[in-house]
Every structure is written in C-alpha cells, then in structure tokens.
Structure 1
Amino acid sequence: MQQLAGLHNSKIPPIEVPASFIGNNEHVPSALIAGPPADYEGAMSVNATDELCKICDGRIECAPTAILLISLVHTLYGHIGPEPDYFGKNKRFILKQAEEEIKDPFIQYTHFNRFTDVHSKKSDGVAFDAEYDFIVVGGGTAGCVLASRLSENRKWKVLMIEAGPEEPKMALIPGLTSEFKGSNIDWQYSMRPKKGFCQNHGDRGCEVVQGRVLGGTSSINDMAYMRGSPADYDEWAILGNEGWSYNEVLPYFKYSEGNYDKDISKNKFFHSTQGPLDVGRYPHVDDNVDVLLSALNEVGYNYTDVNGRHQLGFMRIQTMSYFGERVSAFTAFIEPVRKLRSNLEIVSEALVTKIIFDNTRDTVTALGVEYIKNGTRVRVRATKEVILSAGAINSPKLLMQSGIGPKEYLEYLDLKAIYDLPVGGNFHDHVSVCLPVIKLGKTSTTSKFPEKLKDITTYYSKGIGPLSANFQVVAFLETSISDILGTADIEVRFKGHDSNMYYDKIEMCVSLLTPKSRGQVVLNATDPVFGKPLVYPNFLKDPSDEKKLLEGIQEIVKLFDTEVFKNAEYSFDPRNILNNDCKDHDRVSEDFWSCIIKHFSTPLHNYVGTCKMGTSKDPDSVVDKNLKVFGVTNLRVVDASIMPKITRGSTAAPVIMIAEKASDIIKTNWY
C-alpha cells in the first residue's frame, strides 16, 4: 500500500491508497498519493482580508484591504440598497388582514370598501385599482423577456411586478459575483438541513441563491451561457410536450442571442448575432485558463462549442456579458425599451401576496393579483392573463398560498384549496461538489494592495483586468452509467477559491447534470404568506446520483498526472477537504469519496421543476405544453419551474428561451 503523506495536522492519520486504485485504470492522481509539497506552508499566500492597510492619516482607521476595496467599488458604482420595506408603518394591520383572509380566499371578493379610488374598476364583485392586459409577476430572467416581448404590441398594456429593487451598477461587475449571494438583492432562502448532503454548511443547511432584483438571478449568477444538450429538449417532447423538441426550440435560442464572438458566431446554424442578449467571452484571461484548457486536452477531451450539436468536451465558456460587463435579462430586454414604451409599467420593491380568482360557473379564472408596496395593498386586474415568472421557489409558493396546490396539504394548513395540483413537487437542481484542491505555484493571481487598487481603477476606466472576468473553463463528461449514450452527466467548473480575481487555489466543482433525486417546496406552516418557503431538496436520495458524482471526481483528478499540471507547478492539496470526519478513513476508497461528497455537496442554484410541464395524464404535471395552469383559465407559469427535467448546464439561457417561446404562444393566442 502507498500512503498519503505530508498532512499538516498530525492528528490526521495517513490515508492509504488501495492497490486497486493503482495500475492501468487509476482513480487518483500521483499527486494525491504523494501528498502536498514540502514547502506548502511557506508558499501559502495571505488571504486578502488578512492584509492590513498601511494608510492611517488620522481620519480613517486601518481596515482589511478587502473592506477598502469594496468601499472604493461602492464609491465608483454605488451601494446595494437596504432590505425592501413592503409594509412601511402598516405592517401589523396588513399582517392581521392577511391572516384573516388566507383561510378563505373568496371572503375579500365582496368586501372592498377600503378601496375608495374613484378610478377603481370592478369585476365580479372585486374592486381593482388598475387594469392591464397582462400582469407579469416577477421581473427576473423570464419576466423581463416576457414584459419586453408582450409590450412590443403597443395596444397591450403590460405590468411587471418585481419584489426587489432596480439592478445596482455593482451587479454588472463580473469579478464581484460572489458578493451578492446572501445580500439584499438575494431572497436569502435556505434549504432544510439533512445529514446526507451539504454537511460542510453545518446546521444552516444548503444555501439558496435567487435574485430579488430587476433581472432576477441573471443579475447575480455566474453569467454562464449554456443551452444544455439537444437531448434535453427531445426528451421533453417525448414526455408529451409537443413543440419543445430541440429543433423546435433552437430558433428561440437564436432569436435572443447576439453573439459577438467571431469564432462561435460563424456557425450560423446554431448561433445568431442579431438578438438583444449579448453573448461572448471575457476580455481578461489569466495564465490558469490556458493551463486548464491544455490539461483537459492532454487527458483526451476535445475543445467544443458546448452550445452546438455536441456538448461533450471542454470550452472557454460563453457568457452573458459584453466586453467585461454583465448582461442580465434586465439590461438586455428592459433597459433599452423602458423609456420608449408607455404601455409598459414596472413596479419594483412590491411583494405579490396572492392571485385573485373568480370561482363561478364551475370554472376558476385568474382575475388579477394583489401586491404590497410602501405599506399599501394594491389589487390590479389582468383582462387577458396573469403570468407567473417568480422562479422555481416563489412561483409554487404564490400558487399554493393562493389556493392552487396539493388539496390535502393546503387543507392541513387551513388554507382554502381552489384547485388540486401537485405544485411544489419535482424540485431538483445540479448538485455540485466543489473541492479546493488545486494549489497554484507560479500562476497564482494573488496581488498586493496597490495592484488591487490599480485593477479597480483600470476596470472603471477601460473595462478590462481581473474584475472583468469570472470563472472561464468548463468541461462536460459522460459517465459509464449515462442515461443517454453520447450525452454528458457531469459538468466540471474550475473556479478561483474564495475569489474570482485573486487566488492561489482553484476549486474543481463537479456537478451532476442528470439528477434522479427529487425534492419539494412547501409553505411555511407558521406564516404561509410572508414566511420563507421551506425547501427540501432530497439531494443524493437516489443512489445513482452519488455514483455519477463519484465517477466524475475520479475522472477529473486525473488532471494532476498531466505534464501540463506538472510544468505549471500545480499540486494536489488535500488539506481543505480533510478538516472533517473524512480524515478518519484509512483508505482513499469509495467510502472516503462518498464522505467527501456528503460534506462538500452544494446546490448549483439552477432550481427547476416545481410547476412541471406535462400532459393531463401525468399526475406530476402542473402546466400544459402551452404553460397554462391546469384547471385555471388566464393563468400561465413561465420560468424554470416548468422544466420537466433539468437541462444539462446553467439554466439562464434555457429560461430565456422558454420566455421567448411563451411570448410567441401568448401572442398567437390573443392576436
């Protein structure tokens, strides 16, 4: 047996590598067998927050450089605003009213005396403050596309309601992406803690990242533009969703895309240069990008356009950006037309609390919605349709708290069930395992404080430098138990550890593209309307999910045996993944890796499925192929929640495609 030597913590026993792992089919690199380099401690760089500023002139206190850098960015680009205050001084009154009405959603339909606006309109006994043709709930990735496309018809009056604020300028900086997770432009939800996954997060459970801002998650995500595999959409069609095969959705991808990358856009069959959504590559490329691309090639993978016909291989990713600046759904679809279209109204920092239904003559019809802004409850009517684009967590939440959902569950919460549908089920995501094990030598990008200041000013003046980029290298791999031959099961991203800009370690993030496990989104029983929804992801419940992740990890660590890695002085550093009970394993066995997966598993924040698209015969479906909610007229769901099965890759581009196709369907329906 060979041993894993050189561990820093003397309490950690040496890990022996079984002979079965050595030979023609190695599952671990020679670097893992040898352990970290002897000069590990001396080569460690100091974390940015540990570098103390030398500037003390009596007017400011010395502070960590990270704080000073962020302060400078705030000065140049503005601050992220405070938490939205929906209630103002009327919180107690509004909460009391909501508590009275939630148990019978039809009571308020005949008691609207508090609305005295002479301009209010009535419909079926309900008083409304304003009237629109279409109401889009959610100004996120899908909502921005829908509002833009529907308002192209100047005869239609369109209202888009967003719970978050305007998109801050800071959000446009690619290098600061990680700063927005858990901020006031994030919903700050979390998943329910479980022992089988996300153990490294402790009692907090897995984090949930969903944008609460105009632009939604497209304003705070990693900007990756990935369409998924053609097989994804063909499978949707096979499940009974006519019109959603790859050949039928490809034109909608191209309709949005404005690809300015000459190497990619020359393929006119798959790409377009005419759409409003800028797609290209970052202007800044550090040395590690070329090293990683070359190493993947040495292992035997081919460089490919992952948004073309063949997804398997690796690529310097395409991103929703324009020469170093984020392009969100808001900046692409709303900002250019907002001031030009008087028929498009946008209400931000407004919380939609319910869908208003008329339940007469044996039919359920969506009349409009109620929202709260600045301490005032407002009811607005949709003469044509209410469209939910609130995302895979908030769309099912709003449906359930309005009475559309599992009947027994709603009645258990003492909520009036209007229509029985499996809302909130089929929740899934790309569960990911991020291992910060690549220790850098001569290609470390860590910088001193003066260089960081220079980078900020360079980006501000020229739009280049480390702040103009995020992670760039991605690979798609097929496991031996692939669901469909020739398609990817695993995606691998290489990201700077703790920073997109200044790092001396790289994380290998291995993500499962085809999860079998399914979870659920449910209401908060204590406070169904204003309480945070409960997310039970059930990651790794199906044994095949962990098997695929294990195979992906074993495959990608082969990079450490490449000449490219050795020449670049990349070394395997197990220290950061052995600060838990995984260190107690005697061998680098499958049980060891299983322990690592359970500790370091985390969502990739591509949540889908909770309002599943399917046929009326499918007991798990919520909407039909035209995204209409079963059993309800004038109500659609248009966002990631309708995906029957998640696409192979980041979901931003597929969600934009879904919104493009939905707007076409809606226009055809109402013209």
Structure 2
Amino acid sequence: MELPEALAFLEIETLPSILSIYKFFLGLLSLFNDNSKYYKPSFEIKEGQVFDYLVVGAGSAGAVVANRLTEIGNITVLLIEAGGIPPEASNVPALFPLIDRNKYDWNFYTTNDEFTSQAHATKNIHVAQGKMLGGSSSLNYMSYVRGSKEDYNGWASMGNKGWEWKNVLKYFMKSERLDDVDIITGSSGNLHSTKGPITVTRTNWGPRTQHLFEAFSENYPILLDVNGPVQVGYSMAQFATNNNIRQSTAVSYLRDLKYRNNFYLLLNSLVTKIFFSRNNRAVALEILMQNQRKINIGVRKEIIVCAGAINSPKLLLLSGIGPYYHLQKLKINVVVNSPKVGQNLQDHVLVPVQISGKEGYSSIIQNIDYITNLDKFPNPVLTGRIALDKSQTYPDYQSYVLPFPIGSLISGLLCQVGFELNKDVCAEAIKACLSGESVFAVIALLHPESRGSVNLVDNNPTTPPLIHSGYYSDTRDLERHAFYMEDYVRLINTTYFRNIKSKVVNYNLKQCNQFKFLSHEYWKCHVLNLGSTMWAHSGTCAMGPNGVVDARLRVRGVKGLRIVDASIMPKVVGANLYAAILMIAEKAADMIKEDTYKF
C-alpha cells in the first residue's frame, strides 16, 4: 500500500474518534461558559394560564416574532421552545460543524427511498433542525444570501399579494446590519442597512483566493456583492457573524428580551396539540413539560407557529388540520380537511465535487488559521450563483467553493461527518488532498421541480415524522443538475488550472461504474447517489389562494392561528434560507400588529 493510500485509510478510520474528542471538549467548554446568563429564565408556568400571544418555536423566525410583538408594552407573549439554551460553542463561528447531531438537533432523517442518496453511509439524509434558542440559526453554516427579486415576484404571481420584491426589501433591510464599507458605499449600498439586529460580514481572503477569482473570471462575472442588483456571478461569501459571535436569532433578537416584563420564555417544553373552540378559533395549547407532565395554556389573541418546515406541519396534523384520510387513519379528530399540509416539501439538493490541484500552502498553515480565526468561517470560501443562459438574470445553481491545502483533513470531515457519505467515497476525497492542494465545491440545485412530503407515523407527538425527500422525483431536476455539474467543472479548462494539470477527482462510485467518467450519464448518476441537503426544507404549509395559509400567513379554515417560518414558502427561494426567514418573520410581525391593532 502506497503512503497516500495508507494515510487515507488511517484518516478515514480516525475521523469519527477525532469528532468525538472535539465534541467532548466542547461539552466541557459549555460547562465553564454559562450561556443562560444572557437569556430570561424559563418561566414557571401553571395549568390554565393565559397570554395574549403564544409563539411556538424560538428559532430563526419565532425569536424575531417574539421580539417584535413585545415592542407593544401592554400585551403578553409566551415563547415556547422544545430545546434549551444554546451551547457556548454555537456562538463561535468556526465551530459550526460540531453543533448538530446531538441534543441541540432534532436529528431527523429522511426515509430511504432506495433511489436517491445511495452513496450515503445510511442511504438517506440527515435533516438538521435546531432544537434550542435560535433554532437552526444556532447551528447552520451562517451563509447570508437573500435570493433574487424573481423569487419573491414569483410568490406574488402565484396569488400572494404583498410579497413582491419591492414590498419585502424593506424587511430584509430591517433585520440587517451590514458591516462592509465597500458594499455600503458602492452601487448596491441602497439595498442594505447598517442598523438591523443581524450583523453581516464578508471576509477577504486575499491571495488565498485570488487564483480562483482569476480562473472563474474567464467564464463568469465577478461580483462585489452576492446580494446586490446583479445576481449571477462569483463573489466572496457573506456570513451572519460579528466580533467572534454567530449572529443567530438567539443572540440578535432574544438577548434583548431579558428585561422586557411582557415577555415570557418556556424552555424544554414540547407543544403537542392546538385546541380549537366550536367556531374553530385556536384557544389553547397542550404542552409536554420536561418532567413529562402535560399542561394546557390559553391564548387571547393568536397562536403563531414557528416550528419549521418539518415540525410545523407535524403540529397541524396532530391538531387535526391536514388530509382527511391521513388523519382518519391515525384516529385524529379532523378539524379542517386541508390536503396540502405536509405536502410540497422542497429542498436544495447539494452535491460535492472535487478538483485536484498543485502543491500549495500546507495544512499546518490552515490549522493555525482555524485556531486563530475562530471568529469567522474557518476556510476561504467563494460563492457562485450561475445561470446557464447568459441572458438570464437569476441563477440556476449555487456553488460554494473551498480551496484545501495539501494534507487537509477538512475534506474528510465534510465528507464523512457533514454529508455522511460512505467510507469508500471519503477515502478518495482524502487521497486527493494528500497528493496536493485541491478545490472542494458543493453544487446546489436552486429551483427544484421535485416535491417531497412530511407525514405522521402515528398520533404520538414524540414520534419523529416520516420525511420523504422527493429528490429527483421529477426527472427534469436530474438532467438539470447534471448540466450544472458539467458547467462548474469547466473550471479545469481555465488558464490557471490547465497550467497545473488539474483534473476532476473520481470518487469511484460503485453505482456509476457502468458510465464513462465525466459523461452526462455519469453526472446524472453522480448527483443521484451523492445528493444531500443544503438545509432548505420549505413549502410544507405553503401560502396561496388554495394553500394551507393565506398571504397574511393565517391558517385557512380556522381563526387565531398563523404559521411563520420556511414552511409557508410556495416555492423555495434560490438561496440559503436564513435571510429569507428573517424577512418573513419581520413582515409577519408587522402583519400581526396591523391585523390586531390597525396600525
């Protein structure tokens, strides 16, 4: 066995133990760094208490809604979270790979459809969903991309008046505090704000990425601002980070509520059912407390469900709002026959690809960078938003491109821990890094036609739901994604990569042995078997004239109940979801105030 192969075997076998050691020390770190001091203590609630508003889920959306509603001094808001206080490690941007797959994550998995993702170790997909204050904003990769105006104009054209780009832009700006002089003083400065709660930054990695920009510039425009008026091209990624701290909604929206007397926080408490009056008004919640005791609490005005694209439809189904026959089969009393609850699940399928390169800077430098730059994303990263049709103003696919030095372990960690691909694939990824510098990228399908679903297994609220990813169930997605992979790997034909004799790394997928490497049929097989998630689960309580909710996010068929999270998207935006969810929550808070107080 040659040395690189031996090292690859050694590293692939030791990655899980390395991760376990990291997580052990992170646990110790949390013991000595008490995050709870920043937040209001969990409320000692009693059976039958009543509040003006009940907000279910303290995640990316719920924290925003609770903050904005408690700006009204004479109303009471109870925010209910199934998890607890985020660990100290969640605040440190560079530690993002180590936060999920534990008690801070719901640890959902899709079903194995025996068709997609078969090169994964478990032959299905881990669906990370934050179970703590800040929700998924406390464990995501912090990427801040709004999407294109066409995304939101598309929502409006589907019958959702008020969601046009011109109407939602102010809510993007309301949540944003952009810390980048070049962008603020540039041509896109009028699209940004420096006063919102969420700080957004852009790291300039200088010479570490200059060669990549020069290479990409031969095929695509180079942009200063990924969230500017021009949406197609390559740019430095923007992240929700600031002064060593991840900008989760826990940090940016909930810490300020510690001293608001009209705000109440209930932690480690699972909402299991919504109760309705005879005229179908939402009047109370059933809550499973940490001590396994159930209590009921009432509401005067509205219940706002912000539990995310998996748990929001699950709660509606448990409460009797959903497809009649599904509820009847599970012996759940039907309140509203709403066939689309849990349907229309969308996601951005994300596929890795690696290009070998030259011998560059060593992994020692990278490891030093990682330790000394814990305040930001720990590796240089470019983002591309690309359209195959050069006249098109919105992107078809999104790429994140990371250069790795010779000997880097990060590609192996991403492969085995991030994507949970099988050991044979990850061994090839590591070998590519042992022989020289490589460029690792993930290519995401931004506008899927395929749809999945979220359904109940039974009527037990603690049973995880059935999540059918639906990846590539529409064959157009498979064809398009293969074309996007082909477009991206044109990188090897640019001047820089030709000079260093670069090549696409062959992961030797056993499922694809019958196809010629790099042929179109090969790429279809590649994306089908390696496809993973960009954490863009959405659409399961979609708004629309015939949707689960109306354009003001009120649940159809009942009163006093709204959904505010990614599940209301009729069509997933062509971007990472965090920025869009912040916008949805800011807009929803204003709509609730307008509907109740006629501001």
TM-score (norm 2): 0.86
Question: Please, which of 370, 386, 390 is the counterpart of residue 286 of structure 2?
Answer: 370
Q: CA deviation at 1:276?
A: 0.8
Residue 79 of structure 2 is aligned with which of 160, 163, 174? 160
1:144 is aligned to: 63
Other structure's SS at 2:352 match = strand
Shift of 1:566: 4.6
Pick from 192, 202, 220 the counterpart of residue 281 of structure 1: 202
* CA-based RMSD: 3.0
Equivalent pair of 1:491/1:649 in contact (CA under 8 Å):
yes
Find the partner of 1:623 among 540, 549, 563: 549
Rounded Cα–Cα distance in structure 2 between residues aligned with 1:77 and 1:41? 37
1:205 counterpart = 2:124: yes
Cα distance in 2, alignment partners of residues 534 and 80 from structure 1: 37
Whether the 8 Å contact between 2:23 and 2:98 is mirrored in structure 1 is no
**After the TM superposition, which residues 313-392 of structure 1 pair with which residues of structure 2 at under 5 Å, given as runs?**
313-335=233-255, 337-358=256-277, 360=278, 363-373=279-289, 374-392=291-309
Q: Distance in 1 between matches of 2:122 and 2:5?
A: 34
* 1:601 is aligned to 2:531: yes
Equivalent residues of 2:348, 2:448 under 8 A apart:
yes
Q: Give 1:471 shift.
A: 6.0
Give the alignment of 1:168-207 within 5 angstroms. 168-207=87-126
1:487 aligns with 2:418: no
Letter matched to residue 479 of structure 1: L
Name the counterpart of 1:520: 453
Opposite residue 516 of structure 1, the aligned amino acid is: E
Q: Secondary structure at the match of 2:119?
A: helix
SS at match of 1:433: strand
> Match for 1:494: what amino acid?
V
In structure 2, what is the equivalent of residue 404 of structure 1?
Answer: 321
Q: Give unpaired runs (5+ residues) of structure 2.
A: 35-43, 403-409, 419-429
Residue 580 of structure 1, aligned match among 510, 516, 535 = 510
Q: Which amino acid aligns with 2:80?
A: I
- C-alpha deviation, 1:67, in angstroms: 5.5
Structure 1 unmatched runs, 5+: 1-7, 9-38, 53-62, 82-116, 121-127
Mapped contact 1:49–1:65 kept (Cα < 8 A): no
Shift of 1:299: 2.4
- CA gap of 1:235–1:564, structure 2 versus 1, over 3 A, is same
Alignment of 1:251-262 (within 5 A): 251-262=170-181
- Letter aligned with residue 578 of structure 1: N
- What is the CA–CA distance in structure 1 between the aligned matches of 2:335 and 2:19, rounded to whole Å? 52
Structure 1 pair 455–574 and aligned structure 2 pair: CA distance change class (3 A) = closer
1:415 Cα deviation from its structure 2 partner: 1.3
Structure 2 partner of 1:17: none
Q: What is the Cα deviation at residue 300 of structure 1? A: 3.2
Corresponding residue number in structure 1 for 2:584: 658
User: Which deviates more, 135-144 or 168-177?
Assistant: 168-177
3-state SS of paired residue (1:349): coil
AA aligned to 2:105 is D
> Compared with structure 1, are the counterparts of its residues 47 and 478 closer, same or farther at alpha carbon in structure 2 (3 Å cutoff)?
farther
CA 1:566–1:42 in 2, change beyond 3 Å: closer, same or farther?
Answer: farther
Residue 89 of structure 1 corresponds to none
1:549 matches 2:481: yes
Distance 1:324 1:406 in 2: 46
* 3-state DSSP of counterpart to 1:614: coil
**1:519-538 correspondence to structure 2 within 5 Å:** 519-525=452-458, 527-538=459-470
Q: Give the deviation of 1:311 after TM superposition.
A: 0.9
Which residue, 420, 423, 433 being the options, matches 2:341? 423
Give the deviation of 1:293 after TM superposition: 2.4
How far apart in 1 are the matches of 2:5 and 2:496?
23
Query: SS in structure 1 opposite 2:304?
Result: strand
Residues 1:555 and 1:651: Cα distance change in structure 2 (over 3 Å):
same
- String of CA shifts for 1:160-218, please: whole Å, max 9, x gaps: 11111111110122222222232221111111112332111255412211111110111
Aligned to 1:271: 192
Residues 1:163 and 1:66: Cα distance change in structure 2 (over 3 Å): closer
Task: Answer whether contact 2:449 2:474 (CA < 8 A) is retained.
Answer: yes
CA-to-aligned-CA distance 1:21-70 (integer Å, 9 cap, x gap): xxxxxxxxxxxxxxxxxx99489779767789xxxxxxxxxx97666555
Kept in 2: contact 1:612–1:644 (CA 8 A): yes
Percent of matched pairs sharing the same residue: 32
Checking the alignment, whether the CA contact within 8 Å between 2:117 and 2:123 is kept in structure 1 is no
1:328-378 deviation line (CA, Å, top 9, x unaligned): 01101111x1222011111111111111111x2xx2010121111222212
Partner deviation per Cα, 1:496-519 (whole Å, 9 max, x = no partner): 523579975443211111101111
Conserved? CA contact 1:304–1:311, under 8 Å: no
1:511–1:49 distance in 2 versus 1, CA, 3 Å: closer
Equivalent in 152, 162, 171 of residue 243 of structure 1: 162
Q: Which amino acid aligns with 2:394?
A: T
Distance 1:69 1:393, change over 3 A: closer
Give the letter aligned to residue 275 of structure 1.
G
Could you tell me the TM-score, scaled by structure 1's length?
0.77
Q: Deviations over 1:570-602 (max 9, x none)?
A: 732524x21423123245422211111111111
1:269 partner SS: helix
> Residue 470 and residue 632 in structure 1: after superposition, are their counterparts in 2 closer, same or farther (change >3 A)?
farther
Q: 1:635-662: CA deviations, max 9, x gaps?
A: 0000000000010110110001000000
Work out the number of aligned pairs and report it: 558
The 3 A distance-change label for structure 1 pair 540 and 65 is closer
Q: Any conservation in 2 of the 1:396–1:423 contact (CA below 8 Å)?
A: yes
**Aligned AA (2:556):** F
Are residues 1:509 and 2:439 paired?
no
| Higher-Rg member (1/2) | 1
| Residue 614 (str. 1) matches residue 532 (str. 2) | no
Give, in whole Å, the separation in 2 of the partners of 1:625 and 1:146: 17
Residue of structure 2 in register with 1:562 after alignment: 494
